[in-house]
Every structure is written in structure tokens, then in C-alpha cells.
Amino acid sequence: MKKRNMFWGIFFIAAAVFLIMSRLGYVTGVNIGSFFFGVLFAAWFIKSLIKLDMTGIFFSAAFLCIVFANPLGITNLTPWPVLGAACLGSIGCSFLFPKKRNSFDFHHGGSERVEYDDKENVYCNCKFSGVIKYVTSENFKKADLDCSFGGLKVYFDNAQISGNQAEINANVSFGGIELYLPRQWNVIHDADVMLGGIEEKNRMQSPDGPTVYLTGNLKFSGITIIYV
């Protein structure tokens, strides 16, 4: 059993127990709508806490404060003060506690930049900027893409996978990523999405093509996969 499936199974069973208790009067001041959104944001908070994802921790806590503002008596702090604090706090922590990077580390800031990479493991970091990256590796294995408050375009159309599979790990917060992939690549989605989405264009199944696993986390963001 996957750890993620175990987490969600236990969480929603606990949520079901909480719902019954609230209907029996053991928990007051929480309606069905607040309960539903509270479950989603609490799940986001717990998963972010386990992964030490500061953006997820701040914003999930902020939305929990908004949902339960009346029972907690903090209506004067919602919605914009707590959202503003979450935004500033997540930005501050991103500078104080940067994520660990692979050997090939590209840190960006400012205006749009264009980069090329022919390594088997590639990395790109985009914050408050626009970045275009061309991957030309003949032995591509994995890409780690971090994008916060920016836009990132990555072209894999000239990359080759020297085996049967590869991985694209994308962590996106308040941003957008466009992936340009060869038509013969078969993408399997395994990313966690919170208030975001993954869109595919021009997809064609290729039974003989390599498998690419799309992993990572999306928060208030989107990934567009364009097959070329």
C-alpha cells in the first residue's frame, strides 16, 4: 500500500468520525461547508508539515483561520490579513530555508532568462521571474523544477531517454509551467495538486515510447504539457 493512500484513508476515516460527532452535538459551531473545506485545508496542512513545505504550511493555516474565523473569534484577522501574512511568511522562509538542490543548480531572479542543459539530471529554479530552459541531454533521467510566483518553460523535444523511464519532479506555488515533450513520451501523472491543474495538449499514446512520471506538488498553479 502506498504511503499516500494510507494517509488519505486514515485522514478521511477520521473526518467521517468528526462529521458524526458534529451532527450528534459533540462539536458545535461548524456547518457542513466549513467542515468540508476544513478537511481539505487540514489535509494540506498536515502533508505540508510532514514535508516541511513552508508555503503549504502558511497558506493552509491561513485558510483554516478563514474557514473557522467565527468559532475562533478572529474575524478581524480574516481574510486579507492572514493571507497577506501567509504570503510574506512563505516568501521569507523561502529565502531563509532554501530547498536542497542537485549538483546542477540554476538560481534565477529578475527578468526572463534562457538556459541550456545537456546533463542527465537537470535542475531549474524560477522565482519572481520568467525562465526558458532547453534540455538537450542524450541520457535524460530526471528533472527537478521549482517555480514560485513565476513562469517556466522547459523544452524536452531534443532530449533522449536512454532507458524505459524518466521523471519530471515539479514543485510549483503561485506559478505556471509549460513542458514541451516529444510525442512518443507517455506521461503518468503522480503529482499532488491543491487548487491547481494539469492540462495536456496534442497527446498521442505510443506503446513503444518511454514512460515519464510527473511528480511533485502544485499549489494555486498549473502545468501545461504540450506534445511536439
Which among 48, 66, 96 is the end of a domain? 96
Q: Is residue 9 part of a domain?
A: yes
Statement to judge: residues 129 and 194 lie in one domain: yes
Q: How far is CA 137 from CA 36, 37, 116, 159, 198, in A?
A: 45, 43, 10, 5, 25
> Once rounded to an integer, what is the mean pLDDT over residues 70-97?
83
List pLDDT tens digits, range 2-32.
555 666 666 677 667 766 766 666 655 566 6
| Predicted local distance difference test score (pLDDT) of residue 156 | 95
Q: Is residue 106 part of a domain?
A: no
Statement to judge: residues 145 and 196 lie in one domain: yes
Domain count, the chain: 2
Checking if the pLDDT of 134 tops 90, the result is yes
Statement to judge: residues 119 and 92 lie in one domain: no
Domain hosting residue 220, numbered range: 113-227
Statement to judge: residues 10 and 55 lie in one domain: yes
| Predicted local distance difference test score (pLDDT) of residue 189 | 92
Statement to judge: residues 62 and 129 lie in one domain: no
Which among 96, 129, 164 is the end of a domain? 96
Q: Is residue 102 part of a domain?
A: no
| Predicted local distance difference test score (pLDDT) of residue 136 | 93
Q: Is residue 136 part of a domain?
A: yes
Q: Is residue 49 part of a domain?
A: yes
| Predicted local distance difference test score (pLDDT) of residue 111 | 52
pTM: 0.60
Q: Is residue 103 part of a domain?
A: no
Q: Is residue 104 part of a domain?
A: no
Q: Is residue 217 part of a domain?
A: yes
Higher pLDDT, 209 or 23: 209
Statement to judge: residues 128 and 215 lie in one domain: yes
Statement to judge: residues 118 and 216 lie in one domain: yes
Statement to judge: residues 188 and 219 lie in one domain: yes
